[in-house]
Amino acid sequence: MVLIQIIGFGFVTALAALLLKSTKPELSLAVTIVGGILILLSAFELLEDSLSILKKIAEISSLSSVLIKTLIKIVGIGYITEFSAGILQDFGSNSVADKVVFGGKIIIFTLTLPIVEKLLELVLSFLSLL
Amino acid sequence: MMDFSIIFKIAGLGILITVVCQVLKKSDRDDIATLVSLIGVVLALTVVISLVGDLFTAVKSIFELY
């Protein structure tokens, strides 16, 4: 049961971090990071199957695979940047976390811009038909 | 399937190092105490960094980054 596992990870991590916070704050941070990673890894095991189903749906609906790949890639970039920014915020450096999130946004923007361009080209080709 | 043991390992490391530091500080060896606490942080961070690498490779393979 993954749900019970995730809840257990959360409680154990919180307790261990609380135990260490007063004496060794830097090790409490390490415990928090490890707990977060374990929770995410156990959740990602489920996600893998769902993504393959999503790809199958895209295949059936004859959408271009590049679009679906870009979509999934954007979700992955979002997860990684959010996770890293959360760790940095726990570390106390909010400004660096903001910059990491900003960098992730720029990367997502560069990934999406070609798709927007493709859409505009499609609209232009429709206009030239008139 | 991950296990809880890594969290307990780091928490136990922290408690052990706290005790060692207290003993060393009480016996007037502050320099060794700082060294011990530094080594503890490095040990914890090596575990953490390998796990972060695991997570990032998992995300990369699932979401097909690169």
| Minimum CA–CA partner of B64 in chain A | A73
Contacts of B50 in chain A (CB under 8 A): none
| Mean pLDDT in residue range A6-21 | 89
pLDDT at A120 over 90: yes
User: pLDDT class for A2, splitting at 50, 70, 90?
Assistant: confident
Of A27, A69, A73, the CB nearest to B13: A27
Reported ipTM: 0.71
Span B7-61, pLDDT tens digits: 888 888 888 998 998 899 899 888 888 898 889 889 888 988 998 888 888 888 8
Q: Output the pLDDT for position A99.
A: 94
Partner A contacted by B33 (CB < 8 A): no
The Cα A85–Cα A104 span in angstroms is 10
Partner A contacted by B23 (CB < 8 A): no
B4 within 8 A of A16, measured Cβ to Cβ: no
Of A20, A23, A41, the CB nearest to B2: A41
pLDDT at B2 over 70: no
Q: Output the pLDDT for position A124.
A: 92
Span A18-36, pLDDT tens digits: 888 888 888 888 888 889 8
Decide if A9 and B10 are in contact by the 8 Å CB cutoff.
no
Can you list the pairs that B14-21 forms with residues at least 24 positions away whose Cβ atoms lie under 8 Å?
B14/A19, B14/A20, B14/A23, B14/A24, B14/A27, B14/A28, B14/A31, B14/B40, B14/B44, B15/A19, B15/A20, B15/A23, B16/B40, B17/A24, B17/A27, B18/A20, B18/A23, B18/A24
> Percent of chain A beyond pLDDT 70?
100
Q: Output the pLDDT for position A79.
A: 87
Q: Output the pLDDT for position A113.
A: 93
User: pLDDT class for A98, splitting at 50, 70, 90?
Assistant: very high
Q: Output the pLDDT for position A96.
A: 93
pLDDT at A105 over 90: yes
Q: Output the pLDDT for position B1.
A: 47
Partner B contacted by A43 (CB < 8 A): no
Instruction: Pick B2 or B29 by higher pLDDT.
Output: B29
Q: How many domains, chain B? A: 1
pLDDT at A42 over 70: yes
The Cα A95–Cα A102 span in angstroms is 11
Residue B48, domain extent: 5-62
The Cα B18–Cα B15 span in angstroms is 5
